[in-house]
């Protein structure tokens, strides 16, 4: 049987006591390096309802009705219709993951059936991990490729996407990479982190109040604080910012628990484009601004008795899109030259 591996065959050594005997291998260990793909916080947080029927789903939203002054003039027969908008989210993603196994011939490499079956199960589980990793990459791309529609005042609310009045917040930060002194690096990093934190704090308050500024429908909305998420680029993450954000979002600090990701989630900078790694600090807004859900998600298999091959398929379909009426802003960094040593001393906390 031709070998499928590029690795050379294992040469078993001779017994150190009796050279006429060959040593044997009785124990195997699976190097599991994909366990992180089973439970991905960003996917867990953005998953919404599944759509088992139809070609997608319709997002409905309505503006607040107008508050008017009391009048003795009768308005009994006046018609005041609500201002509503809709957005169609289409199913566009249809994926399959094929994988072939031969449980019988696999036993040639194991000393007991249990180990062989466990390894086959591990290989099958990687299909689900591959699905999750691919969807994670797609969700990160949805975040970093999101470009809000510019605001168009000529469009009335409910007549189509009106655009977003304020979508990008630019924060001037000192470029720490241009510093060499450790004390200066620590001082400027603290200064940058506090500046980012204070701006985030301000915009959390804005989002948690009546506003029309931060959604693409131009409607007035008032979201709850526990619906707000901060998704941050790891390039701008440090211990100071982690702990202050964890406090802001009422979550345990990272050193104590991983539950902090429920309201504060990190995207590794390596998953972002080179430009975004340096400029995007993160995204702040409603946790369902970017969302996904299944159309179907099922595993099937077929056993070919002619060659003992078991063909496996993981079939899944899903929608993934941004929702116009949920608020979101992008925090971007504008890096400037750091101050002189004397100025840095002034910024050092006493």
Give the global pTM. Answer: 0.86
> Quick check: 285 and 214 in contact, CB under 8 A?
yes
12 located within any domain: no
Angle at 19 (CA atoms; ends 15, 23), nearest 5 degrees: 25
225 located within any domain: yes
105 located within any domain: yes
8 located within any domain: no
- 230 phi/psi in degrees, rounded to 5: -115, 115
**Diameter over CA atoms, the chain:** 111
pLDDT (0 to 100) of residue 20: 82
Q: Which of 55, 50, 46 is nearest to 141 (CA)?
A: 46
pLDDT (0 to 100) of residue 260: 34
| First-to-last C-alpha distance (Å) of the chain | 74
pLDDT (0 to 100) of residue 248: 65
13 located within any domain: no
pLDDT (0 to 100) of residue 180: 86
Q: Which domain holds residue 63?
A: 41-67+80-350
Count other C-beta atoms under 10 Å from residue 272's C-beta: 20
Three-state secondary-structure class, residue 190: helix
32 located within any domain: no
Q: How many domains does the chain have?
A: 1
pLDDT (0 to 100) of residue 4: 61
Q: Cα–Cα distance between 111 and 27 in angstroms, integer?
A: 8
pLDDT (0 to 100) of residue 350: 52
pLDDT (0 to 100) of residue 109: 84
CATH number of the structural domain spanning residue 205: 3.90.1690
203 located within any domain: yes
21 located within any domain: no
Per-residue pLDDT of the chain (350 residues; tens, 9 = 90+): 455 667 787 888 887 777 787 887 777 777 877 777 778 999 999 999 999 999 999 999 999 999 999 999 999 999 999 999 999 999 999 999 999 999 888 888 888 888 888 888 889 999 999 999 999 999 999 999 999 999 998 888 877 788 899 999 999 999 988 988 888 888 888 889 889 989 998 999 999 999 999 999 999 999 998 899 999 999 888 765 766 666 666 654 444 444 333 478 899 999 999 999 999 999 999 999 999 999 999 999 999 999 999 999 999 999 999 999 999 999 999 999 998 766 776 656 55
């Amino acid at each position: 049987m031709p070998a499928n591996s590029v690795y050379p065959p294992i040469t078993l050594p001779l017994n150190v006591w009796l050279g006429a005997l060959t040593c044997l291998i009785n124990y195997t260990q699976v190097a599991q390096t994909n366990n992180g793909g089973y439970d991905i916080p960003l996917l867990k947080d953005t998953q919404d309802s599944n759509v088992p029927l139809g070609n997608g789903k319709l997002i409905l939203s309505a503006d607040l009705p107008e508050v008017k002054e009391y009048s003795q003039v009768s308005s009994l027969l006046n018609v005041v219709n609500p201002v509503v908008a809709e957005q169609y989210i289409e199913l566009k993603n249809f994926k399959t993951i094929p994988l072939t196994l031969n449980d019988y011939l696999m036993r040639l490499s194991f000393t007991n059936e249990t180990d062989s079956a466990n390894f086959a199960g591990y290989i099958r589980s990687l299909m689900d991990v591959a699905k999750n990793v691919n969807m994670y990459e797609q969700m990160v791309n949805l975040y970093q490729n999101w470009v809000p529609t510019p605001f168009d005042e000529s469009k009335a609310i409910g007549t189509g996407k009106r655009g977003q009045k304020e979508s990008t917040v630019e924060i001037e930060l000192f470029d720490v990479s241009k510093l060499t002194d450790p004390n200066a690096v620590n001082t400027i990093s603290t200064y940058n982190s506090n500046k980012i934190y204070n701006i985030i704090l301000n915009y959390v308050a804005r989002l948690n109040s009546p506003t029309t500024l931060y959604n693409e429908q131009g409607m007035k909305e008032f979201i709850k604080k526990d619906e707000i998420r901060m998704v941050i680029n790891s390039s701008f993450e440090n211990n100071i910012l982690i702990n202050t954000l964890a406090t802001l979002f009422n979550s345990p600090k990272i050193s104590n628990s991983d539950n902090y990701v429920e309201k504060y989630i990190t995207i590794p900078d390596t998953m972002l484009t080179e430009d975004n790694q340096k400029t995007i600090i993160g995204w702040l807004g409603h946790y369902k601004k970017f969302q996904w859900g299944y159309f179907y998600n099922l595993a099937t298999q077929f056993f070919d008795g002619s060659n003992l091959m078991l063909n496996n398929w993981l079939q899944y379909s899903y929608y993934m899109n941004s929702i116009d009426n949920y608020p979101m802003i992008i925090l971007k960094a504008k890096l400037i030259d750091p101050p002189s040593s004397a100025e840095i001393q002034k910024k050092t906390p006493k």
